[in-house]
Amino acid sequence: MFSLKLFLKLLLLTTNILLVFSDKSVSRRRPKTILILADGIRYDYLNDANLTGFGRMAQNGVRAKYVQPIFPANSYPNWYTIVTGLYGESHGMVQNYMYDPKEKDLFLMSPHPNASHPHWWNGAEPVWINAEKHGLKTGVYWWDGCQVKIRGKEPTHCLGYQSYWTWANPNEDTTNALFEILDNFEADDWHFGLVYYEAIDAMGHAFGSESKERVEAVQEFDKILTTLQDEIEKRNLQNEVNIVVVSDHGMIEIDENKNTRMINIETIVNVDDVEVMLDRGTTAFIIPKANKEAKVSFTHGHHGYDPYDVKEMRTIMYARGPGFKKNYTSGPLMMTDHYNYLCYILGIDPKPNNGTWNNVKDFTSDSGAKVAHLISFSNNSSLRLEIPIALILFSIVILGLKR
Ligand SMILES: *[C@@H]1O[C@H](CO)[C@@H](O)[C@H](O)[C@H]1NC(C)=O
Ligand SMILES: *[C@@H]1O[C@H](CO)[C@@H](O)[C@H](O)[C@H]1NC(C)=O
Ligand SMILES: *[C@@H]1O[C@H](CO)[C@@H](O)[C@H](O)[C@H]1NC(C)=O
Ligand SMILES: *[C@@H]1O[C@H](CO)[C@@H](O)[C@H](O)[C@H]1NC(C)=O
Ligand SMILES: *[C@@H]1O[C@H](CO)[C@@H](O)[C@H](O)[C@H]1NC(C)=O
Ligand SMILES: *[C@@H]1O[C@H](CO)[C@@H](O)[C@H](O)[C@H]1NC(C)=O
């Protein structure tokens, strides 16, 4: 019934449990994770002076040299890649604006109601749904998609997307959301919290990546990170709570004389052949009128802004907590790489994805991340039976050897 391989595996598991639970720096409660998506942080913004919140994250945790977005370096495609580990063609969120001819539906960004139609999201399963399916309660704040029943499930708590421009106190509300997550962590109720933060992207668009307003927005976010780390220490949760800060893409200053070439779409496409044109800027989707497909199809202009060419599209990743090493900087990551370490520190099985485990395996600390796995193992009904059986067999073998 039991092969030698299974026996050795269980022996290893037992040793791991003993090792992990003798490590005093690790909480015995299941570790929890806060994932913050701060939109539009270019990888080199954090070279600004005095960003002590990020500095403290780096000293006590890990960071990537930079993170390479998927193409196109826009919000929705990269948001869904962060939480699924999949490229756009696999998760289905290929742009901020889309048209689905099968459903005859336009995807327009939240708060537009079309963004909440489940068929846009059902191409993949975001990590908050995977976590809920593993029995982990999840609270999501302003991260678009949390309001959608994806593959039949919703997170325990969701506060839907809120536009930055009509929001009175985004910084105060973000801090309060983080504290609310900590309250639920302390009660050992929720195990995962996700927070979306838009200010840096909004200022980068409105005033430019080099503007004073953008610099100040990074400083404000850095203060939130300081407050969060102070609060975690005040509540003595530093060995129980992971903080992960990621972003979706960078930003480039528009300068027609230097780095930008304007293309007037009307010079290449006859507007009479176009049924719908979605988006503008770096990429545009054109839906040709019936029978005009061949005429229009060559005009998908993807000039510049391809993240593989334009380094200004690169972004950041910082993390600290029991699941991560301290003071460690990795090489570059791909946006598809976040998903695997998120699942690892949450202790859940990742879905098939496009991430490379080798890119992130050195982030994780041996003890903290293993705890999540072992606790989820011990919560697994099939193993609940196997562990005692293995221990009994193990004793029989030891007794047998003694004779
Ligand atoms: C950083 O802090 C120092 C000391 O408080 C101050 O002199 C300097 O102007 C600050 N730099 C920036 C960019 O805020
Ligand atoms: C999506 O939005 C567009 C534009 O507002 C609208 O015409 C269309 O009917 C919407 N799709 C559905 C399925 O409601
Ligand atoms: C264990 O699994 C059950 C459902 O199978 C779930 O309700 C519970 O929250 C899980 N506990 C932990 C700590 O994972
Ligand atoms: C962090 O690592 C760097 C280089 O790897 C080292 O110079 C520095 O002393 C370390 N800092 C701490 C606080 O351990
Ligand atoms: C990405 O992962 C999915 C799921 O495993 C797979 O179907 C797809 O082929 C992968 N894409 C690439 C480019 O490897
Ligand atoms: C429980 O363990 C089985 C066998 O190892 C595995 O296939 C399954 O994914 C696990 N379930 C959970 C919820 O971890």
State how beta strands 67-68 and 333-334 pair: parallel
Number of other residues whose CB lies within 10 A of the CB of residue 148: 22
Q: How far is the CA of 74 from the centre of ligand 3 (A)?
A: 36
Are 116 and 5 contained in the same domain? no
279 CA from centroid of ligand 5 (Å) = 27
Any idea what the CATH number is for the domain that residue 68 is in? 3.40.720.10
Least confident of 36-50, 110-124, 380-394: 380-394
Q: Judge whether residue 343 has pLDDT over 70.
A: yes
Of all atoms in ligand 6, which is nearest to the CA of residue 381? 1
pLDDT value of residue 308: 67
**In this structure, are 16 and 160 located in the same domain?**
no
User: pLDDT tens, 162-188?
Assistant: 999 999 999 999 999 999 999 999 999
149 and 77 together in one domain: yes
**Per the domain annotation, does 5 fall within a domain?**
yes
Statement to judge: residues 352 and 395 lie in one domain: no
Pair 226, 52: CB distance under 8 Å? yes
Q: How confident is the model at residue 386 (pLDDT cuts 50, 70, 90)?
A: low
Q: Provide residues with CB under 6 Å of ligand 5.
A: 86-87, 90, 352-354
Q: Higher pLDDT residue, 263 or 275?
A: 275
CA-48 nearest atom, ligand 1: 13
Q: What is the pLDDT of residue 230?
A: 98
193 and 122 belong to one structural domain: yes
pLDDT for the residue numbered 302:
28
For residue 269, being part of any structural domain is answered with no
Counting from 1 in the atom list of ligand 6, the atom nearest the Cα of 380 is 1
- Specify whether 97 is located in the same domain as 25: no
Domain that holds residue 387: 1-30+383-403
Q: What is the mean pLDDT of residues 196-200?
A: 97
Mutual angle of helices 381-402 and 366-378, in 10-degree steps: 100
Residues with CB under 6 A from ligand 2: 105-106, 108, 114
Give pLDDT tens digits for 85-121.
999 999 999 888 888 888 888 888 888 899 999 999 9
What integer is the mean pLDDT of 32-61? 96
For residue 165, how far is the Cα from the chain centroid? 24
281 in a domain, yes or no? Answer: no
Q: How many domains, in total, are found in the chain? A: 2
Residues 23 and 131 placed together within one structural domain of the fold? no
Q: What percent of the chain has pLDDT over 70?
A: 74
In this prediction, residue 295 carries a pLDDT of 40
Residues 228 and 360 in one domain: yes
Cβ atoms of 38 and 225 closer than 8 Å: no
The pLDDT, as a whole number, for residue 173 is 98
* Residue 7 sits in the same domain as residue 75: no
pLDDT of residue 293: 47
Q: What angle do CA 88, 92, 94 make, to 5 degrees?
A: 50
pLDDT band at 143 (very low <50, low <70, confident <90, very high): very high
171 belongs to a structural domain:
yes
Shared-domain flag, residues 309 and 392: no
Residue 277 resides in a domain: no
The predicted model gives 299-322 an average pLDDT of 70
- Under the banding of pLDDT at 50, 70 and 90, the label for residue 402 is low
Domain assignment of residue 106, yes or no: yes
Which residue's alpha carbon is nearest to atom 12 within ligand 2? 105
Find the mean pLDDT for residues 325-335.
96
Domain check: are 70 and 202 in the same one? yes
Q: What is the pLDDT of residue 73?
A: 83
* Average pLDDT for the chain: 83
